[in-house]
Amino acid sequence: MPSKRKKVVFFYPAFASLEATAPLGILAVATPLVRAGYQVRIIDSTITPGFQARVLEELDDALCLAVSLVTGPMVRETVQVAAVVKRLYPELPVILGGWHPSLLPDQTLAAPCVDVVVKGQGEDALLEVVRHLEAGVAPAGIEGVGYKEHGEPVFNVPRALKPIRELPPKAYHLADFDAYERVCGRRWAMYISSLACPYSCAYCTNEGVYGRQWNALEADRVIEETTDLALRYRLQLIWVVDDNFLVDRERALEIAEGLVRRGAPFEWSIQTTTNLVNRLSVSDLKLLRRSGLTQICHGAESGSARVLKLMRKDFQTPGTIYTSAEKCSQAGIRPSFNVIFAFPGEGEEDRRETVRLIMDVCRRYPGAEFWTNIFTPYPGSPIMRHAAELGIRTPEAMEGWADFFPRYTVLPWLNGHQHRRVQTMREYLRVAFNRVPIAADRRHHVTRMMHNAIGIPARWRLDHDFYGFPIEIWLKNAAGRIFEPPKPCVDARQLATEVLPGQRARACVATSPGHIPG
Ligand code: B12
Ligand code: SF4
């Protein structure tokens, strides 16, 4: 039966971080819907008190519920909301898109609360699905889409990737930047200027969704769109979330020149690899700095050349981490690095090498920062082809992925005492040197003082590889419990020992995935 309804409701589950801003994936797939005359509502759990009731309210006259999620804690609220929706509106289709459904479409579609999955880019696919729903017919034949027919999964043929130049601009006007600013303390947005990455690091899922054909928007369009965005929404910062922004050196410099000419009134940051920063001269980097670039996030990943090789990251050596830190510091750009501990094959000595590199870089280049994670085996990453040999067991149903998170991963080769030791070491790394998160620092002054005070013993411990009886961390956590406001609920159980306001995640600076500081 054709429907008279013209409303599509999006739900964006919380991602356990205070670095809140508009979900770019949803803004991307919303544009074609808006252009085709559909009404779009976005309910983002991070900024919406009583988000579940709001979703249900909006669904009363809607065509469908569409959810965007990545693997991990976002699965929890997805399942929670979708299950209630299926109970109250059994006929209303629940559509899942984004990284998790793209990498695990079969298992995602098998969940009883899911009716349709969209694999890969969703701009065209979702519009076609919505049109089919409006016409009252099944999404048969729509490329990149899976759906259920009499309860059985049906997958249409895959959809070819579209280059970024052919994709429409994102519907930023649908975002409530005031609400994001209230949560985050900073007014910022994500922007994407290129797709894919030419590399294929063993732990990274990018190739599985976007392939390796790096393609980008022309410099002029980037200059125009970012400047307009910043002025229109009064943004302080634009985080360019490209997996590897510096693949085309000339384009990067052209963007910088254009922004300088325009007197761009905002800061921006990028993600890239150290080998590509090394191709730039200090004067190139100074130009980028003049254009507003304040931070470069690199996927350093390890201080051990042997481990970098195991990660299929031998395009980058520990030496290039130093050169990047040196050049960025000279240009006044903050160098940020992501590191992954416990990659398969990493030994105790490799881990020490990484810690020594971190300590050395931070001492030589004050302002340099490191964000660490524990290796997390994501489906769709090259290393997962060897999951069975490595003894990695993954959840058999969608719900199981909710506890899958790089900060906590327990691996067959890193469990019990060893896992606790690495976690404690990471805690000390977190306080040994200052790091600057996107979110405003709203910590109580006592917590902040405590953090600074334990920097000295933390550095001593890291230098001496001694993490027994971590009294400083206990004291810091106790101060946090007494003085800090409650943490976001989505991952509170697991995040109990984390300093949430200081957390930051990223893409090409892969902490496993892309380059995400954790
Ligand atoms: C920005 C970002 C973040 C930000 C999000 C900030 C925010 N306020 O939203 C922060 C920093 C919080 C973050 C955190 C993490 N992230 Co992150 N992040 C990204 C990044 C760099 C960009 C995402 C983005 O907006 N892209 C631009 C949009 C336009 O592209 P897109 O998301 O792919 O959307 C398209 C399709 O997927 C699809 N689509 C998306 N949503 C929907 C919805 C529907 C209904 C449909 C039909 C289609 C659809 O259509 C879109 C347009 O084509 C990606 C890397 C990347 N290249 O995308 C990693 C990435 C998504 N992150 C990843 C990871 C692993 C993490 C962390 C676990 C990292 C960590 N160390 O803690 C955490 C997890 C947080 C959580 N949710 O639990 C992985 C996810 C892998 C996976 N299997 O899911 C990625 C892919 C990085 C990587 N290369 O591996 N991340
Ligand atoms: S980790 Fe970074 S460099 Fe490696 S493939 Fe992924 S995006 Fe590219």
Q: Answer yes or no: are the C-beta atoms of 256 and 287 closer than 8 Å.
A: yes
In whole angstroms, give the CA distance from residue 178 to residue 182.
Answer: 6
Q: Please list the residues that pair with 368 across neighbouring strands.
A: 366
Dump pLDDT digits (tens) for 482-514.
877 665 544 333 333 332 333 333 333 333 334
- The one-letter amino acid at 508: C
In whole angstroms, give the CA distance from residue 423 to residue 410.
Answer: 10
CA 274 to centroid of ligand 1, rounded, Å: 22
Tokens read off for 3: 């429907």
Residue to substitute in 26, 99, 214 for testing ligand 1 pocket (most ligand atoms within 8 angstroms of CB) = 99
Q: Answer yes or no: are the C-beta atoms of 279 and 316 closer than 8 Å.
A: no
**From the CB of 194, is ligand 1 less than 6 Å away?**
no
DSSP state of 314: T
Tokens read off for 404: 């899958």
Q: Supply the pLDDT for residue 125.
A: 98
In whole angstroms, give the CA distance from residue 246 to residue 360.
Answer: 26
Cα dihedral 273, 293, 505, 228 sign? negative
Provide CB contacts within 8 A for 438, sequence distance 6+: 19, 184, 186, 188, 237, 239, 504
Provide CB contacts within 8 A for 451, sequence distance 6+: 431, 443, 476, 499
End-to-end CA distance of the chain: 47
What is the enclosing helix (H) or strand (E) of 131? helix 123-135
**From the CB of 511, is ligand 1 less than 6 Å away?**
yes
Dump pLDDT digits (tens) for 346-395.
999 999 999 999 999 999 999 999 999 999 999 999 999 998 999 998 99
Q: Please list the residues that pair with 44 across neighbouring strands.
A: 12
Q: Supply the pLDDT for residue 488.
A: 54
Dump pLDDT digits (tens) for 115-126.
999 999 999 999
Quickly count: other Cβ atoms within 10 Å of residue 9's Cβ. 25
Provide CB contacts within 8 A for 402, sequence distance 6+: 72, 73, 75, 76, 79
Provide CB contacts within 8 A for 349, sequence distance 6+: 304
In whole angstroms, give the CA distance from residue 339 to residue 351.
Answer: 10
Dmax (CA) of the chain: 71
Residue to substitute in 213, 245, 515 for testing ligand 2 pocket (most ligand atoms within 8 angstroms of CB) = 515
Q: Please list the residues that pair with 153 across neighbouring strands.
A: 148
Nearest CA to ligand 2 atom 2: 508
Q: Supply the pLDDT for residue 316.
A: 95
Residue 234 pLDDT greater than 60, yes or no: yes
**From the CB of 19, is ligand 1 less than 6 Å away?**
yes
Tokens read off for 145: 């889409």
Residue to substitute in 99, 192, 194, 199 for testing ligand 2 pocket (most ligand atoms within 8 angstroms of CB) = 199
What is the enclosing helix (H) or strand (E) of 479? helix 471-483
**From the CB of 15, is ligand 1 less than 6 Å away?**
yes
Average pLDDT across the chain, whole number: 92
Judged by DSSP in three states, 171 sits in coil
Dump pLDDT digits (tens) for 254-289.
999 999 999 999 999 999 999 999 999 999 999 999
What is the enclosing helix (H) or strand (E) of 334? strand 334-341
Dump pLDDT digits (tens) for 448-483.
887 888 999 999 999 999 999 999 999 988 888 887
Q: For the chain, give me the number of helices (H) and strands (E)?
A: 21, 17
CA 70 to centroid of ligand 1, rounded, Å: 6
Dump pLDDT digits (tens) for 393-436.
899 999 999 988 877 778 999 989 999 999 999 999 999 998 88
508 vs 300, 366, 471, CA distance in Å?
10, 23, 35
| pTM score of the predicted model | 0.94
Q: Supply the pLDDT for residue 485.
A: 66
Nearest CA to ligand 1 atom 13: 505
